Chains A and B, each alone.
Chain A
Amino acid sequence: GENVEQHPSTLSVQEGDSAVIKCTYSDSASNYFPWYKQELGKRPQLIIDIRSNVGEKKDQRIAVTLNKTAKHFSLHITETQPEDSAVYFCAASVWGSQGNLIFGKGTKLSVKP
């Protein structure tokens, strides 16, 4: 089955700096890669997702890149703000109803003002 590895487990940056979180996956059939943000004590919320037919997707200060050959994808947050502090989870699945959505173990991002 699919296995998703995520690193680093913790990341601390200064406000205004960029943050990068990386994930690798094992199943070459996976073609859908969402990222979820979970603030302390709250529900995970989807912040961006990408399908394997594109290599990069941007949404304001957030971008995700995908390298299908190497089976890794990354989340990039630019101009970080204190409200970006949260745990971020990557995930991978096969588009549609096959298999299931496998999450990484999460990265705790702390943005220092």
Chain B
Amino acid sequence: GAGVSQSPRYKVAKRGQDVALRCDPISGHVSLFWYQQALGQGPEFLTYFQNEAQLDKSGLPSDRFFAERPEGSVSTLKIQRTQQEDSAVYLCASSLGTGWEKLFFGSGTQLSVL
């Protein structure tokens, strides 16, 4: 596609529900990143994939958060037993190379946990 695509654009969940957020990176991009952006804050790193390998998951806030990229393209961020503090915009980004240069971001999924 022309850019990084994320779905759904908005997600409302009741506390305790599981959610799955999808990211379609730019075709051919090796690296894929997930960030969490709270209102009025900068993006905070969650996890990083190089192709299908998850090289860094140090930013995942708890074991309720899980990410995968099984075939090295589409990625899914799953949050189990959602809590109110999980409410944020979840941004996905991809880059052509293996590092942090020139990230292309998606429009994000705004998650609201009630």
Residues of A within 8 A of B (CB): 6, 32, 34, 36, 42-46, 49, 89, 91, 93-97, 100-106
Contacts and interface: CB of A to CB of B under 8 A. Distances in A.
Looking at chain B's contact residues, the main secondary structure is: loop
B42 A105 contact: yes
Contacts of A100: 45, 48, 56, 58-59, 100
Interface of B: 4, 31, 33, 35, 40-45, 48, 50, 55-56, 58-59, 91, 98-108
Contact of A101 (B45, B58, B104, B106): B45
A105 B107 CA distance: 18
A32 B101 contact: yes
B45 A102 contact: yes
A25 to B, nearest CB: 13
A63 B45 CA distance: 26
Nearest to A6: B42
A45 B16 CA distance: 33
* Max chain A Cβ within 10 angstroms of own Cβ: one of B42, B50, B108: B42
A103 B107 CA distance: 17
